[in-house]
Structure formats: C-alpha cells, structure tokens
Chains A and B, each alone.
Chain A
Amino acid sequence: MLRYIARRLLIAIPTIILVSVLVFTLQQLLPGDPVLTMAGEERDPQVLAFLREKYRLNDPIPVQYFVWVGQVLQGNLGISLRTDIPVLKLILTKLPVTIELAIFAMIVALAIGIPAGIISAVKKGTAVDYATNVVALSGLSIPNFWLGILLIMLVSVQWQLLPASGFVPPSEDLWLNIKTMIMPAIVLGTGLAASLMRHTRSAMLGVLRSDYIRTARAKGLLGHVVIWKHALRNALMPIITLSTLLFGELLAGAVLTEQIFTIPGFGKLVVDAVFNRDYAVVQGVVLCTAVGFIFMNLLADILYVLVNPRLRHAR
C-alpha cells in the first residue's frame, strides 16, 4: 500500500516538472520588459543594468529556470505587481475559502448525484428513470449564475433565511460561516450532481449486469444489500475519478459563483489578477492549480486502492 502510494508520487514528479517548465515559459513569453516595469519611471541605464544583474536576467534561460525553481521551492512565488503582497500570501489567504466552498459543494453533489444515479439505474426504463434524467438534464442546463440569483431572491430577499452574500471566516463565527456557504454550495453542487448522477447511473448499469450480482441474489440477499454493498462498491471507481476531477475544477472554476455571492476566494483572485495583468499572481495561481490537480489525482489513486482490493497487490 505504502509502496503503491510512493510509486504514484514518483509518477507525479515528471508532471510537476512539465508544469513548471510551461509556467516558466509563459513568463518568458509575456510582453514587456520586467525590468522596465520594476524600475517604473527610472530610466537610468546603470540602474537597469543593476536590476538585470540582481534578478540574473542576463543568465542563460536554463539557468534562469533553475533559479526560479529554487525560489518557488522556498515559497517565493514573486510579488503581486498591483497589491505589493507576496503571491504566496495572497494564495494562502484565498485558497482555504475556496477549498471550504468546494468541499461543501462536493457534499451536495455526492449526496444528490450518487443516490439519484443508483435509483435511475435500478429503475432503468421506468418513469422514475426518465424523471431523474429530465431533472438532471435541467440541472446541467440551468446556468449557475441564474440559479444563484434565483436563490438569493427567494431565500435571502423573500424569505430572509440566509445571508445573500459576503463571507465570514469560520474562526470568527462558524455558524454564520456555514450559513454563507450553503447557497453557493447548492449552486455549485447541483450543477455537478447532474454529471455525477449520469456517471453513477452508467457505472451501476454495467455492474448490475455482472455475474457476481446474480450470485449475490442467488444467496437470497435482499435488494438493498445487493445494490448498496455488492454493486455500489464496484461502481465506485469511475465515481471517484469523476469526483476528484470535479473537485479540482471547483478550485479553479468557482469564479462566477464566488462573484455572485461575493466570496473572496481563489476564483475572484484569478479574475482580478487577469484583469489587472498581475502576471506574478496568474503564474502562482496556475502553478497552484496544477499542483492541486496532481494532488487530487493522487487522492483518487489512494481511494482506488481502498475500494479495489486487486490493486493492493499491484507491483
């Protein structure tokens, strides 16, 4: 098991290197001379030369790459041009907010998507199946911003149940923090629930046809044991794959929802950075997202082993 995880980690290394090269290249391709940007109004050639030397911009590109990697490894992702705050610090303040939101959204998505997928697979071809599919399709086609606005108008404005927007750190007021997360989590989660439901349905349909399900029934096991124990366990692999992918996307892609509910998360950071051409921040965010995806993949690999004993003995 540990060896398996170690091997997965090793496999992740080339991916990380590739990502870092891409991010570094992006930086090289950016228009404008970084020294001119840094120097501001200063045009003194000596100062410019000094800056060039200081940031080792005269070195060959590969050397510059290693210098940059060294800095990144020390946690130095550069400084936001617009806010003068270190990029790492910016990311570290925004990321937990988005992770919290993503977790809540995933809970909503899993709690709706998996049971709905199972029910529609078990009731395949019946009215229940069609109804679930119609609801899922509408869930997929309703844009997040529309659902978000609808929820705000109903739940916050009309019924005054939950705050319409804003964010309170959990350290300040946990209950209020959760209340502010509910609606955005529903908006994000229902969108994902639809695709989770469809994947669960097709995975379950495949599994329900298999011989070991017939064996389980031949033992006289009741329907719910056959489905929730014997079938679901085997249908979990594709569900895990999709869930971790979706979670990764939530981290980078909750932009619109964060805007609607004015949640100061990662998505907002990205949008602000892109609009302000704050390249250092964009770069840090890209790097961070890439590493996040790699981490989610690793998580998926570990979960696979937990549900599939055959992998435990893989070399």
Chain B
Amino acid sequence: MINEAALRSRETDLAVDPLASPASEPLLRVENLSIRFDGAPKGINVVDDVSFSLAKGKTLCIVGESGCGKSVTALALMGLLPTPPARIVQGTAHFEGKDLLGLTERERADLRGNSTAMIFQEPMTSLNPAFTVGDQIAEGILRHRKVSKTEAWERALEMLRRVRIPAPEKRLRAYPHELSGGMRQRVMIAMALANDPQLLIADEPTTALDVTIQAQIISLIRRLQEESGMSMILITHDLGVVAEIADEVVVMYAGRVVESGSVEAIFEDPQHPYTIGLMGSVPSLGRRQGRLATIRGSVPPAELMPKGCRFTPRCPFAESRCATEPPPLVEATPKHHVRCWYAPLEQHRGAVS
C-alpha cells in the first residue's frame, strides 16, 4: 500500500515537473504554494501545497466553498496578503520567468496593476470614497506609464467606454457613492485593465451583485479578455460560468487542490467526492448549470483540521485510512489530477462491491 502511494506521488511529481513540458512555458506557474497565518495551529496551512499553471490567453477557474483559501491564494499571487499575519511557507509562482514570491516589494508594486491586475468581490467598498472615478483610474495609469495627466485622463475615459459605462464623460467626475454596485464593478474592471495586463485575477467579481447584473459583468469580462488576449484566473461559485468560460478548473477544498484538469474532464468525469458533491449528484455526463450544490457540514476550522484527507468528516466514501494519511494528488487520466485515496471512484467502488 505504501509502495503504491509512493508510486502515485512519483507520478504527481512528474506531472507538475516543468521540465516535462518545456515546449509551451505557461504565463503563470504556481508550484507547491503553502501559506499559513500566525496563530494557526502548528502545521496547518490555510493554503497547502497548491500547484497550477495557466497558459497565455487561457482562463483558469478556481472553485470551492467559502473559506477554502481561494482569495488567500489570489492575494498571495498579487502580493497583497498582509505579512504578518500571513506567511508564505513554501512555493514559487513563476510569471514570465520571474518568481513573483521572490521579488522585492518594489518590484512587485511595479508589476501590480501593470502586467498583473486584480478585481475584487466587494465593488461597494473597493473604491476610495474620497476621490473621483477618473482620478482613481488615471492614477494607476500615471503610476506605470510615462504619460501626461491629460493623456492619463483620456485613457481613463476610453476605459470607461470599453467597460460600457453610460455617459462616461460625466462618470469620470463622479464619486463612487454616485454609482450603483454594477457600475462600480465596471469601474474596477476599467481600472484593472487600464494598463493592458497579461494576467487578470477576478475574485468572485459578481458574488455581491444583483443576479441580473452578474451575467452582464461576466460577459463584459469575457469580451474584454477576447479583445486583449490576456489570461485570467476567475474565482467563482457559479458552475454555469465555469462551464461557459473556463479552459482549466482547479477545485480547492480547505486550502488544498483536490482536483484539477480541463473543464471537460472536470465536468464530464469528476473524480473527487468533493467535486461530485459540488455538482450536486453522482458523476454523470453533461454540463451542469447554476451555483455550487451544498454539501452537508462545513469546512473544518484550522483547530479541527483532520491530519489526513481534509474532507474526511464530510466524505461519504471516507474510510479509516483517510483520517490519518493525506492522499497525494495523482494523475487519474492525462492532465487530470485528483487528491483522493479512492479515485477513480467508479473503479474503486466496483472493486469493493
């Protein structure tokens, strides 16, 4: 059994080994990223051994319930985590050949809002109430480009047009409180894209918005991505959106990647009990729409985190070994990785019965 585990983990190593596929170097390659917060129990990382990569022009969706470490991962990539209390325990994040996590704060700031950009979940509070929309967009342009103030404001106006804000000339001089949530999120998008980033990280950009606005914002982001050819990491709860726009999917549970692969693989052949739970039923073909299904129970707090598979307390397939030995991330089918002792489930169940 131990040999089998060793064998499987060796496969994993091979699968994430960058040397294995030197032909197409991805835009972003995150490897073995682990983050902990000061005060958390010893050895419990909020983000644990997370790896994924993203090719140029592609979209990676990260899904998982609240508290699974999606935002912490995204903020760490942007260099926006407060350190302390957060600490990067290990890992690298190569972006255009540089390890983001190894840069100085100044070098990171030079990238932020320039070649990497981020939009957030809370449009209502993410804009500074004391400054006009135009000022807030233009200052990001002035920070990274050698342009005059007038040119920066012209660019800001152009960005407001591109995010389809009505009466953009007027909105340029508006304060955030004069705009609705949807409009504010458009402003955030305009701000993020003003310097033509190669990577956009969108952390649940529609969760706080009215249902009617959500689809508009998603299709706007989608269209802007097609226009610019940038890569995107989209964190979302909406499986319909994932099915529609993702190329790759990463499923996170309690800080770990439990399943990752192409959108087809994840939707047509989900392997991990958690992924299956999220989709609301046993594995079957065909894409599902709508929000994540609710799974009984909740993500355990750090103090109660099981030593083995973190999904053990909620897993209908859990067996004694799950609680004590953490399963490795193994390649179930080519480019489709699963972190479960009993994947693929069909085979395993078949063998049991």
Using a CB–CB cutoff of 8 Å, the interface residues on chain A facing chain B are 210-212, 214-222, 225, 230, 233-234, 307-310, 313
Contact = CB atoms under 8 A, between A and B. Distances in A.
A219 B112 contact: yes
B112 A215 contact: no
Nearest to A208: B82
A234 B127 CA distance: 12
Contacts of A220: 109-114, 140, 143-144
A226 B113 CA distance: 14
B80 A221 contact: no
B120 A221 contact: no
Nearest to A125: B84
Interface string B169-199: 0000001011000000000100110000000
A222 B126 contact: no
Of all A-B residue pairs in the complex, the 6 with the closest CB atoms, nearest first, are: A219-B113, A220-B112, A219-B140, A220-B113, A211-B125, A212-B128
Contacts of B131: 230, 233
A215 B130 contact: no
A221 B139 contact: yes
A101 B67 CA distance: 56
B118 interface: yes
B129 interface: yes
Nearest to A217: B80
A218 B128 contact: no
Given A214-B80, A309-B130, 18 more contacts: A211-B122, A212-B128, A214-B120, A218-B120, A218-B192, A219-B113, A220-B109, A220-B110, A222-B106, A230-B128, A233-B130, A233-B131, A234-B130, A307-B130, A308-B129, A309-B129, A310-B129, A313-B177
B110 A211 contact: no
Residues of A contacting B: mostly: helix
B131 to A, nearest CB: 8
Interface of B: 78, 80, 106, 109-114, 117-118, 120, 122, 125-131, 136, 139-140, 143-144, 175, 177-178, 188, 191-192
Contacts of A221: 109, 113, 139-140, 143
11 contacts: A210-B125, A212-B125, A212-B126, A215-B127, A215-B136, A218-B113, A218-B117, A219-B139, A221-B140, A307-B130, A310-B175
Contacts of B144: 220
A310 B122 CA distance: 19
B175 A215 contact: no
Contacts of B118: 218
Nearest to B137: A219
B265 to A, nearest CB: 32
A127 to B, nearest CB: 15
Given A310-B175, A310-B177, A219 B191 contact: yes
A313 B80 CA distance: 34
A215 B117 contact: no
A106 B290 CA distance: 60
Contacts of B130: 230, 233-234, 307-309
Which has the most chain B C-beta neighbours within 10 Å: A214, A218, A222?
A218
A216 B106 CA distance: 15
B205 to A, nearest CB: 13
B56 to A, nearest CB: 22
A308 B128 CA distance: 11
A215 B118 CA distance: 8
Contacts of B129: 212, 234, 308-310
B76 to A, nearest CB: 13
A212 B127 CA distance: 5
A218 B126 CA distance: 11
Nearest to A213: B128
A214 B126 contact: yes
Contacts of A210: 125
Given A216-B128, A221-B143, A309 B80 contact: no
Contact of B80 (A218, A307, A308): A218
Contact of B112 (A217, A225, A230): A217
A217 B114 CA distance: 12
B113 A211 contact: no
A210 B124 CA distance: 11
B294 to A, nearest CB: 27
Nearest to A310: B177
A244 B106 CA distance: 39
A309 B175 contact: yes
Contacts of A216: 128
B143 A215 contact: no
Contacts of B117: 218
Contacts of A222: 106, 109, 143
Contacts of B125: 210-212
A221 B131 CA distance: 15
B199 to A, nearest CB: 13
